[in-house]
Amino acid sequence: MLSAKKVIRIASLGAALLAVIKLTLGIISGSMVIIASAVDSVMDLIISMLNLFALKAAEKPADKEHNYGHGKIEAIVALAESVFIGGSGIILIYSSIQKYLNKTPLEETGAGIIAMGIAIFITGIIIFLLRKVNKKDKSLIIQADLMHYEMDILTNIGIIITLIIIQHTQWFWMDPIIASGMALYMIYSARSIAKKGIDLLMDTSLGKDHEIGTIILAHPAVKSFHELRTHQSGNRAFISFHMVFKNAGISLKEAHQVNNDVETSIKKKFKKANVLIKLDPIDDEKSLQQY
């Protein structure tokens, strides 16, 4: 069975291979779009290595100093990744402007096209593996990696089209302009990853109140619920709420069984969830009947 760590290792090897191929041909051809793609692959390699560290750290169980586990390390790494990616984008824009002003012609565009075709094939394998793991493990790290490699496919296709056009038209000005567009996308991706990391650190709610509420009220012994609070740490969701029974005189044993039933139902929907339920005999002014 593929684990998240194993897939990240494969992604790291793939990124290293892509970086070497692209950088070599980028230097030979003088193409800024290939060099930009090579820098992107180097960033992929660095990010994958950081992700591997984060996944190992996030899997550590809760301890005396970290009662809720170590999942937030994923958010910290995501923020570091956003700085790497955004900074690389800025450097590429500067390099592309210099390339445009100097009007340097391209060489070996045919080799560049072949290289990008190989890159698409390798990236496709990485995406397939990441998607497979992401279905099982809803990790911010895996999702960020997957999003980045999916856009790499589109970027590589765009590079091939650009090189073909340049090969037949000699429109060399397209090279730095397309490279600048790729750099702007890298900066946009950095913003998206940073936002997810900040949301995780700020304990933003899951946004699944309706789904959770439906599960709670589906139990025949439950009258209502209130004080629903949710957040995520790594790939683990934390859900807590107060639950009110239809029968205010329910026995402790019966109430405990209802608690277990509701908790099990929630965990079927939200894998690896940590559910904390406070049992209330009566409604209060904060009870949630409609949500």
Please tell me the predicted confidence (pLDDT) of residue 103. Answer: 66
Determine which of 108-112, 193-197, 237-241, 254-258 has the lowest per-residue pLDDT on average. Answer: 108-112
pTM over 0.85: no
Please tell me the predicted confidence (pLDDT) of residue 140. Answer: 67
Write the pLDDT tens digit of every residue in 86-135: 887 787 787 778 767 776 666 666 777 888 888 889 889 988 988 888 77
Q: List the Cα angle 92/93/99 in 5-degree steps.
A: 85
Domain boundaries, the chain: 4-201, 209-280
Please tell me the predicted confidence (pLDDT) of residue 278. Answer: 92
pLDDT at 289 over 50: no
Fold observed for domain 4-201? Alpha-lytic protease prodomain-like (1.20.1510)
Interstrand relation of 236-245 and 274-280 (parallel, antiparallel or unpaired): parallel
φ, ψ for residue 103, nearest 5 deg: 50, 50
Fold observed for domain 209-280? Alpha-Beta Plaits (3.30.70)
Residue type, 81: E
CA distance 128 to 267: 27
Please tell me the predicted confidence (pLDDT) of residue 291. Answer: 44
User: In 3D, which of 136, 114, 122 has the Cα closest to residue 10?
Assistant: 122
Q: Which residues contact 199 (CB under 8 A, 6 or more apart)?
A: none
User: pLDDT > 70: what percent of the chain?
Assistant: 92
Please tell me the predicted confidence (pLDDT) of residue 290. Answer: 44
Work out the pLDDT band at 242, boundaries 50, 70, 90.
very high
Fold matches, 4-201 and 209-280: no
CA distance 196 to 201: 9
User: pLDDT > 90: what percent of the chain?
Assistant: 15
